[in-house]
Amino acid sequence: MSASESLQAEDAYFASNAPPKQLAAHTALAEAFISQHAAANRRVVLVTSGGTTVPLEKNTVRFIDNFSAGTRGATSAEYFLSAGYAVIFLHRQFSLLPYSRHYSHSTDCLLDLLEEDSDGRVAVRPSDSDRILDVLRKYQSARRNNMLLLLPFVTIGDYLHELRAVARLMAPLGSSGLLYLAAAVSDFFVPPERLSEHKIQSTNIVEKLYPQDAPSPSPQIEDEETFDNFDASPRVPRSKRLIIDLDPVPKFLKSLVEGWAPLGMIVSFKLETDPRILVHKARYSLERYQHHLVIGNLLSTRKWEVVFVAPNREDQWLRVARHGGWGDAEGRPLRPDEVPEGDPEQEIEALIIPAVAKLHDDHIAKSSSAERK
Ligand code: 9Z3
């Protein structure tokens, strides 16, 4: 697709997919946040996190979703804060958040860490006090200094509108802005003209009651008499089938790199499940979009190893100690001497963020020397 075609696809997408209701409010918050930190000469990172939904109805009862809990994004945000960055956290509503992620329902339920003291007051169990205090101090410091802005989204459309708006606001930061795109973004969606207004029905009730406005939406429902080959024997008529027809989401990384935040450093993630193609896909993405870093990860080992793919340098694998997964591009397991030693509880983001911050230093230094010339 040529540059002007992709610009047209972008314009068409944003013109036909309505922005989220909170966009203006979020933009105002982000604008104030960015100018406060720019005035203090602080680096600002936009971290995107969590999955994007694909609604199947305008009044949405059903939607397609993906696996992401937002662990990567929430954990990364904490390490960026520790490294001195102000963080805009654009995240899927109700996904994991920095700091509170340590005490979510699926890890340590907060109630299990509390007890009633002899005066009938709630207290933290002494055995858990130190680790909670550590998280609490970091959380309160981030809040007190207004270092963390939380912006939620739900759908793929919301996400793209918010991403464009915040990226544009970051453009004046120049090279000191960092975009770190860890959200698991859907590649497919139902365009508005094919989106059913109301809940998709499994019978012809609407057509029967109101034949004059029988819709012909996609997803389509086939005739009631349709037989399914699901149950080969006995062949039974099944209720209506739902056939979902999805369009590709236009690729926005190009717009980010060229138009929305052209001087900032852009880091994207590439997710695959097949180890044999991960590095190739990451390199392809880097060449296609000409941004600064692709961090490749596999669904099954994403918490223990990632690969940095950047222009003009060798691929760099980062691994934490407990890793014992696949090893190289051919899927060769690691030899024992290749498995890193160290703290088995270490989070991989403790390695990723300093390495990204170092590349960001280089990016800023390169941009300022280019400006001097
Ligand atoms: C990632 O690859 C993230 O690391 C994960 C994190 C989604 C795997 P969790 O939330 O998982 O910690 O459970 N994010 C990017 C995935 C993505 O949609 N990338 C696009 C692609 O691969 C490019 S922007 O095409």
Give the max Cα distance, the chain. 78
The whole-number pLDDT of residue 137 equals 98
Residues 203, 284, single domain; the answer is: no
Q: Which of 320, 307, 189 is nearest to 252 (CA)?
A: 189
- 229 — pLDDT class (breaks 50, 70, 90): very low
Residues 33, 73, single domain; the answer is: yes
The whole-number pLDDT of residue 256 equals 87
- 214 — pLDDT class (breaks 50, 70, 90): low
Q: Which of 79, 134, 95 is nearest to 349 (CA)?
A: 79
- How many Å lie between the centroid of ligand 1 and the Cα of residue 2? 26
Specify the range with the lowest mean pLDDT, choosing from 40-49, 65-74, 98-107. Answer: 98-107
The whole-number pLDDT of residue 218 equals 45
Q: Which of 282, 349, 347, 341 is nearest to 310 (CA)?
A: 282
- State the DSSP string of 246-282: -EEPPP-HHHIIIIISTTSEEEEEEEES-TTTHHHHH
Q: Does residue 130 lie within any of the structural domains?
A: no
Q: Whose CA is nearest to atom 7 of ligand 1?
A: 184
Over residues 124-151, the mean pLDDT reads 96
The whole-number pLDDT of residue 326 equals 47
Q: Does residue 124 lie within any of the structural domains?
A: no
Cβ partners under 8 Å of residue 363, min gap 6: 175, 265, 292
Is residue 339 scored above 70 in pLDDT?
Answer: no
Q: Whose CA is nearest to atom 14 of ligand 1?
A: 182
The verdict on the CB of residue 152 being under 6 Å from ligand 1 is no
Q: Which of 163, 183, 169, 162 is nearest to 22 (CA)?
A: 162
Query: Residue 204: which domain range?
Result: 191-245
The verdict on the CB of residue 184 being under 6 Å from ligand 1 is yes
- 353 — pLDDT class (breaks 50, 70, 90): very high
Q: Ligand 1 test: best mutation among 76, 269, 292, most atoms within 8 Å of CB?
A: 269
The whole-number pLDDT of residue 254 equals 87
Residues 334, 288, single domain; the answer is: yes
Which atom of ligand 1 is nearest to 181's Cα? 24
Its pTM stands at: 0.89
Cα separation of 25 and 151, whole Å?
Answer: 10
Q: Whose CA is nearest to atom 17 of ligand 1?
A: 184
Cβ partners under 8 Å of residue 14, min gap 6: 160, 161, 164
The verdict on the CB of residue 68 being under 6 Å from ligand 1 is yes
- 234 — pLDDT class (breaks 50, 70, 90): very low
The verdict on the CB of residue 249 being under 6 Å from ligand 1 is no
The verdict on the CB of residue 295 being under 6 Å from ligand 1 is no
Q: Does residue 131 lie within any of the structural domains?
A: no
Q: Where is the domain boundary, 245, 261, 290?
A: 245
Residues 271, 176, single domain; the answer is: yes
Count of domains in the chain? 2
The verdict on the CB of residue 102 being under 6 Å from ligand 1 is no
The whole-number pLDDT of residue 8 equals 82
Residues 157, 220, single domain; the answer is: no
Helix extents (H) in 171-271: 205-209, 253-255
The whole-number pLDDT of residue 215 equals 57
The whole-number pLDDT of residue 206 equals 75
Q: Count the helices and strands in the chain (H runs, E runs).
A: 9, 16
- How many Å lie between the centroid of ligand 1 and the Cα of residue 296? 9
Q: Where is the domain boundary, 205, 228, 245?
A: 245
Residues 227, 323, single domain; the answer is: no
Is residue 287 scored above 90 in pLDDT?
Answer: yes
212 or 357, higher pLDDT:
357
pLDDT tens digits for range 97-121: 999 999 987 778 888 999 999 999 9
The whole-number pLDDT of residue 313 equals 94
Residues forming a β-bridge with 92: 153
Give me the CATH number covering residue 78: 3.40.50.10300
- How many Å lie between the centroid of ligand 1 and the Cα of residue 114? 35
Residues 175, 61, single domain; the answer is: yes
Is residue 72 scored above 90 in pLDDT?
Answer: yes
Which atom of ligand 1 is nearest to 182's Cα? 14
| Tokens, residue 227 | 């037989």
Over residues 269-290, the mean pLDDT reads 96
Residues 214, 265, single domain; the answer is: no
The verdict on the CB of residue 69 being under 6 Å from ligand 1 is yes
pLDDT tens digits for range 241-275: 788 999 999 988 888 888 888 899 999 999 999 99
Q: Whose CA is nearest to atom 6 of ligand 1?
A: 72
Q: Where is the domain boundary, 229, 245, 261?
A: 245
The whole-number pLDDT of residue 231 equals 47
Residues 87, 202, single domain; the answer is: no
The verdict on the CB of residue 297 being under 6 Å from ligand 1 is yes
- How many Å lie between the centroid of ligand 1 and the Cα of residue 69? 10
Q: Does residue 125 lie within any of the structural domains?
A: no
Q: Does residue 367 lie within any of the structural domains?
A: yes
- How many Å lie between the centroid of ligand 1 and the Cα of residue 164? 18
Residues 199, 183, single domain; the answer is: no
Residues 94, 30, single domain; the answer is: yes
Could you give the percent of the chain with pLDDT greater than 90? 68
Q: Does residue 138 lie within any of the structural domains?
A: no
The whole-number pLDDT of residue 204 equals 73
The verdict on the CB of residue 71 being under 6 Å from ligand 1 is yes
The whole-number pLDDT of residue 230 equals 47
Q: Does residue 238 lie within any of the structural domains?
A: yes
Over residues 127-147, the mean pLDDT reads 96
The whole-number pLDDT of residue 233 equals 46
Residues 93, 153, single domain; the answer is: yes
Q: Does residue 115 lie within any of the structural domains?
A: no
Q: Whose CA is nearest to atom 21 of ligand 1?
A: 270
